[in-house]
Each structure stands twice: as C-alpha cells, then as structure tokens.
Amino acid sequence: MTDLGDRSAFPRPAPRRTAGPQARKTLVSLIYHDIQAARHRYSFTIEEFREHLAAIKEAVGGAPAVPGGGPDLSGFALTFDDGHVGWLQAAEALQELQWKAFFFVITSAVGKAGALSRSDVRRLASMGHVFGTHTVDHPYLFSARDYAFILDQWSRSKADLEDALGRKVTSGAVPGGFYNSKVGRAADAAGLKYLFTSEPVVTNWDVGGCRIYGRFSLTNGMSSRKVARIAAGARFEHARQYLGWNLKKAAKSVMMGPYQALRKRLYPS
C-alpha cells in the first residue's frame, strides 16, 4: 500500500503574489507518458499535444520551468514518464516554442522496441531537455520495498543515465507514484535534487537536499482547455484531480496502468 497521501493537506491556493517572503513557491507539474497515434489511457496524439501546448501558452504565458541555479522551481513544468519513442515527436513540438521539459526514463528499457535509444536520449538532452531517472525497471509497489533496494534503483539508474549523457543527473520521478519518505530519503542519498511524485499538489517540500514536487497526471480524453486550466493553477481542477487521485489510491490497481502499457510494448510476451 502506498502512503502517497500521508503528508498532503488539501491542495492549497497558490501563494504566488500574496505570500510573504518565507513562503515556498508553488509548481504545477503535468505528467505525460507517450505521444502516439494509438489511443491509450495515458497517451495523446501529437495533434492533441500541440493543442495542449497552444492552450497552455495562451493560459499561462511563460515557458515551463526547468532547473536553474537552485532547488526552486515555480510556475508550471512539463514532465514525461517511462521512455517512450513518441517523445521524439513531443520534442519537435516543444522545439517550436523553445520550451523545455523533464523526461524521466526507465533505464533498463532504453534501446528496447517502443522506447528511446541511447542516442535518442542524447539527442533530446542536447536540445536542452532535462533527463532524469524513473528507476532501473519501474518496480511495482516501490515504496513498500526496503531502503537498500530503493537506493540501489535510484543509484544505478542515475549512474547509467549519466553514462549515456556524459553529464550529471539530478532529477527523478517516482514509478507508479509510489512515494513515501523512505523513497525521498533514498533519492536524496543517491544525489537527486528534484524528485517528482504523482500526488496532484502544487506544494513542495525537502527531504535532506532533495526537493519533492507533486504532479498532475494527464489522461486521454482531457481537453486542451482543461489541461491549460490545470497548468494555469485553477484550484477547481486541482481539487478534482486530488479527489480523483485519492479515489484511485483506494483502488490501488489503477496505478499499474502506465507501467503495464509500456511493459506490454517492451515485452510483448
């Protein structure tokens, strides 16, 4: 059982302009998976993705956040999970806006059918996108595993990605959204500075030297207007996502969706 909800209050309004100097900035992170023609719960077509980008641009104005000098990320961020080959199309669309995104790869899947190759990873990174780890092999019920196992997953995948990229990797995304403080501590020990969960909140917190961020998962059928409202910080949409996420947590099995889809493509038997 995951304890994703153990530290979250109901999503709070973004204190962007009214908060005092000590207030933590908020970040709205969106989770994409594949960009492909085939319909799937967690994928969008490239046309739909372009519509999302246009709607977000109109609603938000600025460019998405990527790591700068410090741990603070604010505004909105675009993140992609698992390592899908459809990211090549997504990157082309992002390039037109000069927007950068976070791409989180399952390192053992790199080079497999349906996934990015190592040279694809290098190419997208050279376009300015941020590559992070999504663990070695996307373990199910990640947060229930022991600390040594979790640390090994973060450390090995980070080292493998650094080897492929020739640069330091400082960000990661929790597989299946199975976050707890143990997962955060292990990420910190492995040297990650930015860890993205799947909890739909805009608030963030620190575990040692690692900043933990929430994210909002996007599913097929969501309109570009809805996606833009989420990105722009609409409290109503965030509350709906938060309620939906907690219902799904109760159903547990839903969390396997994206992983099962990729695994099916990578290991068809």
Taking the C-alpha atoms of residue 224 and residue 180, their distance in angstroms, rounded to an integer, is 31
Residues touching Zn ion, count (CB under 5 A)? 4
CB of 125 to Zn ion, least distance (A): 19
CB of 157 to Zn ion, least distance (A): 12
Q: Binding marks (x or -) toward Zn ion, 238..267, rule CB under 5 A?
A: --------------------x---------
Q: Binding marks (x or -) toward Zn ion, 121..160, rule CB under 5 A?
A: ----------------------------------------
CB of 96 to Zn ion, least distance (A): 26
Instruction: Specify the residue, 195 or 228, whose C-beta has the smaller distance to Zn ion.
Output: 195
Taking the C-alpha atoms of residue 153 and residue 137, their distance in angstroms, rounded to an integer, is 8
- Count of Cβ atoms closer than 10 Å to residue 217 Cβ: 24
Told to check if 199 binds Zn ion by CB under 5 A, we report no
Which residues between 43 and 102 bind Zn ion (CB under 5 A)?
Answer: 81-82
Instruction: Specify the residue, 124 or 255, whose C-beta has the smaller distance to Zn ion.
Output: 255
Instruction: Specify the residue, 82 or 160, whose C-beta has the smaller distance to Zn ion.
Output: 82
CB of 235 to Zn ion, least distance (A): 27
CB of 82 to Zn ion, least distance (A): 5
Options 150-158, 172-180, 188-196, 211-219: segment touching Zn ion (CB under 5 A): 172-180
> Using H for helix, E for strand and C for coil, what is the string for the chain?
CCCHHHHCCCCCCCCCCCCCCCCCCCEEEEEECEECCCCCCCEECHHHHHHHHHHHHHHHCCCCCCCCCCCCCCEEEEEEEECECCHHHHHHHHHHHCCCCEEEECHHHCCCCCECCHHHHHHHHHCCCEEEECCCCCCCCHHHCCHHHHHHHHHHHHHHHHHHHCCCCCEEECHHHCCCHHHHHHHHHCCCCEEECCCCCCCEEEECCEEEECCEECCCCCCHHHHHHHHCCCHHHHHHHHHHHHHHHHHCHHHHHHHHHHHHHHCCC
Instruction: Specify the residue, 31 or 230, whose C-beta has the smaller distance to Zn ion.
Output: 31
Instruction: Specify the residue, 75 or 184, whose C-beta has the smaller distance to Zn ion.
Output: 184
CB of 10 to Zn ion, least distance (A): 26
Give all strands of the β-sheet with 216-217 in edge-to-edge order. 204-207, 210-213, 194-196, 171-173, 130-133, 102-105, 75-82, 27-32, 216-217
Instruction: Specify the residue, 49 or 55, whose C-beta has the smaller distance to Zn ion.
Output: 49
Instruction: Specify the residue, 67 or 175, whose C-beta has the smaller distance to Zn ion.
Output: 175
Instruction: Specify the residue, 233 or 258, whose C-beta has the smaller distance to Zn ion.
Output: 258
Q: Interface with Zn ion by CB under 5 A: which residues?
A: 81-82, 175, 258
